[in-house]
Amino acid sequence: MVTASQKLPAELRYHEELAVLAAADRDPKPAGWRLSPRAVRRFIIGDDKLGVSRKFWGDDPLVDRCIVALMGMQGLILVGEPGTAKSLLSELLAAAISGDSLLVVQGSAGIIEDHLRYGWNYALLLAEGPSERALVASPVMAAMRDGKVARIEELTRCAPEVQDTLISLLSERTVATPELGSGRETRAVQGFNVIATANLRDLGVNEMSSALKRRFNFETVLPIADPSFERELVARQVRERLVGQDVGASLSPDVVDVLVSVFRDLRTGTTSEGAVVTRPKSVMSTAEAVNVGHAALLDAHYLDGATPGGGHVARQVEGVVFKDDAEDQRKYRAYVDTVVKARARSSRVWADYFKAAKARSDG
């Protein structure tokens, strides 16, 4: 049952839109691409005329640059703070260009070279010796063979020597398999490229070598700059999460405003009134705001049986965002005691938020 999955890959989720775009696509396509670059662009930033929804917000030129980078011989690496929809963008690009966003390597400290090149089915290897059948291609090698886009998530979490495997893959565009006989190799078919995502500043990430950096075009995905737009986005995404769940309630504009303001204040370090706020270490991304909004709604609906208000948001913010860093909690308390307190005087939703936040920190 496909429909019961929690989350479908983009090419299935949006398969109707992709079909519409393909049918209407008259522009030239680079070799190996399912859609023309312009259709890929329309798939990601939307096209009202074709009924294609917008899926990535805030920086259209960035989308253009990504598409153009993928047409060339350089890989594309998306960097930026956590929660800025880097992975989403990478998934959408792969789905639109190759019709397949599942060729993914999830980067971690446990990744070894085999995960980027190829491994073996050891039972077959022992029984038959090295053979095509016994060889297990990595997603990257599969993408080369089929002319598709391979995705590598969190590249900088891999050990540097493993990362460097990509250098030869990206410059030679071939994987040699000497075990199958001398001269045996898999050459990349037209359409192959790599989209990596990485965090360059988080704890526990590895530095990239300059040789590898040279083989990638870097694109930075920034947090959303426009507050009104962020509010709209959060409200919409919370609504989308509730599709298929029997929850009638929704977040009122006032509540969304409180939610987004809290996140923006703590993310940027200045409030809309210009007051300075000490920034916590926690990630205050739009994605986290959606998580909090969603959780607040469920809390209000299932546990409280009330309309979601500032108090529900306040109760979730601390639990969802400030996991267990005492320093962060102090900064957040200071924020509540100054900025939120001042706003609580003139707004009921803020007053609600303040009361709940104080109750938590005092209790």
Partner 1 sequence: MDNGTLIRDIRSRLFDEKGKVWLAPIRHHSPACAAALAAMIREIRPSQILVEGPEDYTRLIPDLLHPETQPPVAIAALVDHKDRPRIAAYFPLCAHSPEFVALKEGKAIGAELAFFDLSSDRFGAEDAADLPPHPRAIQDEAAFDSGDYVRRLAEELGCRDGFELWDHLFETRIGTPDWRAFFADVGSYCAGLRATSPSAEVTDGINARREAHMARALQRAAGKGPVIAVIGGFHAAGLLSKPSGPAERGKPESMSRSYLIRYGYREMDALMGYGAGLPQPAWYERLWQAHLAQPDRMDWQAVAQDVVGAFVGEMRGKGITIAVPQQVELLRSAQLLSRLRARPGALRHDLIDALRSSLLKGEAGSLDVWSERFLTFLQGHRLGRVPESAGQPPLVADAFARARAAGFDVTDGRRRTRALDIRRKPAHLAASRFAHAMSLLDTTFVQHEGGPDLITGAQLTLLIEHWLYAWSPQVEAKLIEASIHGDTLPAACLGALLAARADLQAEGRGGEVLPLVILIKRGLLAGLGAEISPLFDELVRGLQVSARIDDTARALQDLAVLHKARGPLSLRDVLDPAPLFQAAYLRTVYLCGDLEKTGPESLGDALTALRLISDLLRDDIGEGLDAALFDAAMVRLEQVGPPPELLGAALAIRIQNGYLRPERLAEAVRGQFAGSHLETADQIRILTGVMKVAPALLWTEPQILTAVDDFLTNVSETDFFNLLPGLRLVFTELSPRETDRLAECLAETAGGRAVDFAARTTQVSQSEAEIGRVFEQEFRATLEHDGLADWFDGALTESRIP
Chain residues in the site for partner 1 (CB under 8 A): 37-38, 41, 45, 60-61, 64-65, 67-69, 71-72, 74, 79-80, 200-201, 210, 213-214, 216-220, 222, 225
**Which of 91, 103, 110, 111 is CA-nearest to residue 43?**
91
331 residue type, one letter: K
User: Between residues 106 and 220, which has the closer beta carbon with respect to partner 1?
Assistant: 220
Tokens of 79: 């960097």
Least gap, CB of 317 to partner 1 (angstroms): 26
Instruction: Report residue 206 as tokens.
Output: 């590895």
Residue closer to partner 1, measured from CB, 84 or 186: 84
Per DSSP bridges, beta strands 174-176 and 185-187 are antiparallel
Considering beta carbons, is residue 33 or 322 the nearer one to partner 1?
A: 33
Pick 67 or 321: Cβ nearer partner 1: 67
Q: Can you tell me whether residue 308 is helix, strand or coil?
A: coil
For residue 300, count CB atoms less than 10 angstroms from its CB and return exposed for 0-12, middle for 13-18, buried for 19 or more: buried
b/e map 119-132, b = 16+ CB within 10 Å: beeeeebeeeebee
Smaller CB distance to partner 1: residue 3 or 210?
Answer: 210
Closest separation in Å from C-beta 217 to partner 1: 5
Nearest distance, CB of residue 340 and partner 1, angstroms: 26
* Closest distance to partner 1 from the beta carbon of 72 (Å): 6
Could you tell me the smallest distance in angstroms from the CB atom of residue 274 to partner 1? 16
Query: Least Å distance between CB 80 and partner 1?
Result: 6
Residue placing its CB nearer to partner 1 in the complex, 79 or 296: 79
- Closest to 272 in 3D by CA, of 208, 222, 202, 343: 343
**Complete DSSP assignment for 201-260:** SSTTPPPPPHHHHHTEEEEEPPPP--HHHHHHHHHHHHHHHTTTS-------HHHHHHHH
Of 225 and 359, CB closest to partner 1: 225
Distance, in Å, from the CA atom of 279 to the CA atom of 281, rounded to the nearest integer, reads 7
Q: How far is the CB of 213 from partner 1 (least distance, A)?
A: 4
Question: What's the distance, Cα to Cα, between the start and end of the chain in Å?
Answer: 46
